[in-house]
Amino acid sequence: MTLQASISPTDDRLAVRPATACRMLDVGMTRLYELLNSSELESYLDGRSRKITVSSIRAYVARRTAAGAPPVATSRQNTAA
């Protein structure tokens, strides 16, 4: 069995598992769930399995690209004085 690193533009899947979405966006699981909690990405449960819609991933990338991808605020505090 081969692990697919990401979805190709010709892939016809409508939804992917969180691990695949992380690879597609090159983010960690924590960041992925931040995007889900802020409604940047759409998902649903199929039984106990979380699925993230590929259309919401593509729309997120399009929004970020169109906005010029300004820096994202993080919860870390700058402690340098």
Paired tokens of 31: 């960041």
Is a pLDDT exceeding 90 seen at residue 20?
A: yes
Q: Provide the strand spans (E) within the chain.
A: 15-16, 43-46, 49-53
Contact 57, 41 (CB under 8 A): yes
Is a pLDDT exceeding 60 seen at residue 1?
A: no
- Confidence tier at 12 by pLDDT (50, 70, 90): confident
Is a pLDDT exceeding 80 seen at residue 54?
A: yes
Higher pLDDT, 75 or 31: 31
Q: Please report the pLDDT score of residue 75 as a whole number.
A: 59
Is a pLDDT exceeding 80 seen at residue 28?
A: yes
Alpha-carbon span 66 to 61, nearest angstrom: 8
Q: Which residues contact 45 (CB under 8 A, 6 or more apart)?
A: 51
Counting residues of the chain whose pLDDT is more than 70, the rounded percentage is 72
The amino acid occupying position 53 is T
Hunting for tokens 């919401």 — which residue is that?
56
